Amino acid sequence: MCLCYFSVFFSLSLALFLISTWLMVGDLTYFVEYEVLMVNSSPVSMTLLIDWMSTMFMSFVLFISSMVIFYSNDYMHGDLNINRFILLVVMFVLSMMLLIISPNLISILLGWDGLGLVSYCLVIYYQNVKSFNAGMITALTNRIGDVALLMSIAWMLNYGSWNYIFFLEEMKEDSYMVLISVLVILAAMTKSAQIPFSSWLPAAMAAPTPVSSLVHSSTLVTAGVYLLIRFNYSLSDNMMMVLLFISSMTMFMSGLGANFEFDLKKIIALSTLSQLGLMMMILSLGGYKLAFFHLLTHALFKALLFMCAGNVIHGMVNCQDIRFMGGLVTAMPLTCTFMNICNLSLCGIPFLSGFYSKDLVAESLSMGWVGPYIYIVFYISIGLTVSYSFRLVYYLFVSNLNFPPLISLSDSSEVMLRGMGGLIFLVVIMGSTLSWVMFDSLYVIVLPSLMKLMTLIMVVLGGLVGYTTSQYKLGSNNFSLENIKVSNYLGGMWHMPVLSTYGVNYTPVKLGDLYINSLDQGWTEFYGGQNIYSHLVKSSAIMQLLWSNNIKLFFMLMVILFIFVLV
């Protein structure tokens, strides 16, 4: 089954990439409309939007999902329900396809809800308490976005069509239609985990690693960014300023949190959150093409980064704590090479794919009309990205192995390595290829030499900070342990998971406990169902006694009757 879906997705991906370049060169857009049914001369039709952006994104999603399915064939080997797992992944990808090619809010909601539902099934796949809790917070946070989309659908009833693509300019100017843009931004913020909805993204790491690879690269979390890229013409200046502030905070918060985290998958998840903040920032400054460019390049190296992490976790007998790892470069040279290339691409090292998008984003932001606050937060966040990447490299590859010597680490899994090898080539070359293909005119960047080199300076500084802060020895003072409250605050995403779980649940759970003790198991129990039940049991026992001895009872009544007559 795995190989069948792999070949189909891979072939479709190549075909869609060629179609995308053809549409881009010809500057063509196609609307495919299919009439589903006719109700009282009112047609109910399904519309598909096929342009270079939707086909390019579909091509990338299908390519990454084909590699993930191929990789899963070995990663999930031994799982009794592997066919169910593969079908869930396929449903996930199909939901994303529906969302990508929809110019209509109704069909977008179908794909959007499909993503939410299947992601819940995948997060709880391992069926333990941690997975159930993570699945619930993921599903409930995403429901907020679903409700926002439903409300925008209801509001668009005023305008006679749900094809939002024709109303984008009016949404900016019409004071009544602005509400739709606000609701769409809210939906995108929940799906792309911007503050204050960030806590579900690291929690969703309870899913199997191939799912994390797919979710965090090109499907679930990018759905919100893609929706805003489509709606970018309808966003007013005030909305963009609010979005710019929120996304800058998200980028800074997740970069800071990743430097205090010790769970390998959560570090990469927080890295995804940081990059989503970056995409939202450049989108809110008007660079929707740049945001899309970074979305595609980021999808490639983030998918491969998760695959490498999965291979390491597999070798470490499901241990995810980076403090137990070390010296992996001698045992798993190929996996570590892939992981290093992805990390360097994430940092924006020239001339890997991440550099072409990230450097262009940074320089466009430097040329834009942004205040000192956004400029400083942006460049500090870039430094933090490099810092946690180098910290990861130090813990995994440089230091000594701290794990019990009962494991045999090796690059022995040929299928998993082939799945990763299919992506590494694109991680290296796709940035430059897309920069030539996507932009019909050059971005002219004119900056002073210091501002031009600012990205490189922050990369070097971040790398030094990440490497030096990771080097600790027994007996040396540890900042995290000495300042445990500060570490918990910064590393715990500014207490956001606590606020969105315990903070929301505390009052209802406390009230429930109070009611169950005082009412359900208190006076209502005595005067209610339990007491009635005990009375019924007693009376039915008496009746049963009478009816099971009915002949004796008849004779006794005869005797009593004779006595009464004689008396």
Same domain, 219 and 263: no
Give the integer Cα–Cα distance in Å for 304 and 214: 10
- The model's pLDDT over 365-390, given as tens digits with 9 standing for 90+, comes to 888 777 888 888 888 888 888 888 88
Same domain, 515 and 560: no
Same domain, 460 and 509: no
- Which of 215, 231, 247 finishes a domain? 231
- The model's pLDDT over 161-206, given as tens digits with 9 standing for 90+, comes to 788 787 777 777 777 778 888 898 999 998 888 888 888 888 888 8
Same domain, 310 and 458: yes
Give the integer Cα–Cα distance in Å for 454 and 446: 14
Same domain, 130 and 254: no
**Residue 478: what pLDDT?**
63
* Torsion sign, CA atoms 542, 547, 550, 552: negative
Q: Burial code of 375-397, b = ≥16 C-beta within 10 A, e = fewer?
A: bebbbbbbbbbbbbbbbbbbbbb
Question: 51: Cβ–Cβ under 8 A, 6 or more apart, which residues?
Answer: 23, 28, 29, 30
Same domain, 498 and 537: no
- Which of 210, 231, 252 finishes a domain? 231
Same domain, 454 and 535: no
| Predicted structure pTM score | 0.85
Percent of the chain past pLDDT 90, that is, above it, reads 5
Same domain, 30 and 115: yes
Length of the chain, in residues: 567
Q: Could you tell me where the DSSP H helices lie in 101-208?
A: 105-123, 129-156, 168-173, 178-191, 200-203
Q: What DSSP letter does each residue of 543-564 carry, written as one string?
A: HHHHHHTHHHHHHHHHHHHHHH
**Neighbour count for residue 523 (Cβ, 10 Å):** 10
Average pLDDT over residues 247-274: 88
Q: Locate 495 and state its tokens.
A: 């207490």
**Residue 15: what pLDDT?**
92
Amino acid identity, position 459: V
* Torsion sign, CA atoms 109, 110, 115, 118: positive
Total domains, the chain: 4
Judged against a pLDDT cut of 60, whether residue 44 lies above it is answered with yes
- 531 band by pLDDT with thresholds 50, 70 and 90: confident
Same domain, 487 and 531: no
Same domain, 222 and 311: no
Instruction: Find the domain containing 539 and state its range.
Output: 525-566
- The model's pLDDT over 153-164, given as tens digits with 9 standing for 90+, comes to 888 887 777 887
- Which of 231, 248, 263 finishes a domain? 231
Same domain, 67 and 169: yes
Q: Which of 296-310, 506-520, 535-549 has the highest mean pLDDT?
A: 296-310
Same domain, 133 and 66: yes
Q: Locate 385 and state its tokens.
A: 């990205």
